[in-house]
Amino acid sequence: MLATNLKVLAVTLLVVALYTLVARSIPQLESAVPEDIALGAGVTPQQLADAGERVYTGAGGCVACHGLGQRAPNLLTDHAGEGAIGARCADRVAGQTCKAYLYASLTEPGAFVVDGFDNIMPDMRRQLPIDQVWAVVAYLQSQGGEITVTGSDIPEAEAAAAAPAAAAPARSATSDPRQLLTENACLGCHVIDGAGPPIGPSFDGMGTRIGADRIRRGIIDPDADVADGFGQFAGMMPKTFGDQLSAAQLEIMVQFLAGRR
């Protein structure tokens, strides 16, 4: 009986040891807690970038998606032949500096979804203190570009956090509907001229399916009427276009889409 007991014990210990060994032999990743990185007005760009790297690879959880190439664009290596993020950020949105673009991408990510990816990123101000958001901006700039974030950005950002609308990128003055669609990243989810990801209803033939009122409501309050077949993507479209567009721009966009038959 003792021999049986010992054999049972040995099998149990061997199995437990095997699983422990497997789990300990794979890459060990800890989900860190956002650390307090006190970044005052006197911080240097390099200190900001160093702190940003710690946040990026740690508590920010950025590497969960950026770097895989499937869920989100690679930021540290090349994406679509455009180089690392620091090299391409200034060209992402016309008229927007690299710094403004990166900050806006972190705080209003839904407005800047890159073609081919889903709108899954949260507003990082919910995850990180504002100085750490700026540190990440500096780190991303350092990936192939010049760090232009300074300590003086941080107090400004704190004020902006208190009044988020004030931090929004400057409103474009264009009245070209296609440019409006591009600037507001609509084409990241909607098909036009047969091209683009079908995450939202196609703009092609939209005027034959719904009227101008419904289109207007869909832009201002996207979840009010979710189109048939797109229920799984409900909630993804930003609800900020009512603030981002002027009344005239909104109407230009509505009439443009209603006219697509």
Partner 1 sequence: MMLDLLGLVQSAADTASSAYRSFPGIGARGAVWIAAQVHLMFAAFVLGVPMFAVITELIGIVAKDSKYDKLSKEFTRLLVFAYSATALWGAVLVFLLTTLYPQFWTHMTGVFGVSMWIYVGMFFLESFTLYLYYYGWDRWNAGRAKWGHWGLGLLLNAWGTAVMFIANGWLTYMMSPPEGVTPLGLPPALTTWNAIANATWMPINIHRLIANAVFGGSIVAAYAGYRFLAARTDEERAHYDWMGYVGNFIAISTFIVLPFAGYWLGREIYEYNQQMGVTMMGGFMSWLWIVQAVLIGVLFLAANYYLWIGMQRIPGAERFAPYTKWMLVVLVIGWLVWSTPHTMIASREELTAMGGSHHPLLGVLGVMSAKNTAVNIMILTTFLSFLMYRRANKRPTVPWAGIGTVVQAVMFALSAVVVLGFGVYGYFVEAIVRIGFSVYQVGAVLACIFGVTIIDIAMGRGAESRGEIRWGQMPERSQYALFVLAVTFTWLMGLMGFARSGIRQHWHVWEVLRDNSPQAATPALGFAATMISACVLIFLGLVAFIFWLGGLAERTMAKPDAAGGA
User: Site residues (CB under 8 A) for partner 1?
Assistant: 1, 4, 7-8, 11-13, 15-17, 19-20, 22-24, 26-34, 59, 61, 63-65, 67-71, 74, 76-77, 120-122, 126
Nearer to partner 1, 16 or 41 (CB): 16
Nearer to partner 1, 29 or 170 (CB): 29
Closest approach of partner 1 to the CB of residue 57, in Å: 8
Nearer to partner 1, 178 or 239 (CB): 239
- Determine the Cα–Cα distance for residues 98 and 255; give it in Å rounded to an integer: 32
Nearer to partner 1, 26 or 170 (CB): 26
- Determine the Cα–Cα distance for residues 201 and 198; give it in Å rounded to an integer: 7
- Determine the Cα–Cα distance for residues 27 and 134; give it in Å rounded to an integer: 29
Three-state helix/strand/coil letters over 141-184: HCCCCCCCCCCCHHHHHHHHHHCHHHHCCCCCCCCCHHHHHHHC
Closest approach of partner 1 to the CB of residue 8, in Å: 6
Q: Is 133 helix (H, G, I), strand (E, B) or coil?
A: helix
Please provide residue 78's backbone torsions phi and psi, each rounded to the nearest 5 degrees.
-70, 145
Nearer to partner 1, 88 or 216 (CB): 88
Closest approach of partner 1 to the CB of residue 98, in Å: 20
Closest approach of partner 1 to the CB of residue 69, in Å: 4
Closest approach of partner 1 to the CB of residue 198, in Å: 8
- Determine the Cα–Cα distance for residues 36 and 38; give it in Å rounded to an integer: 6
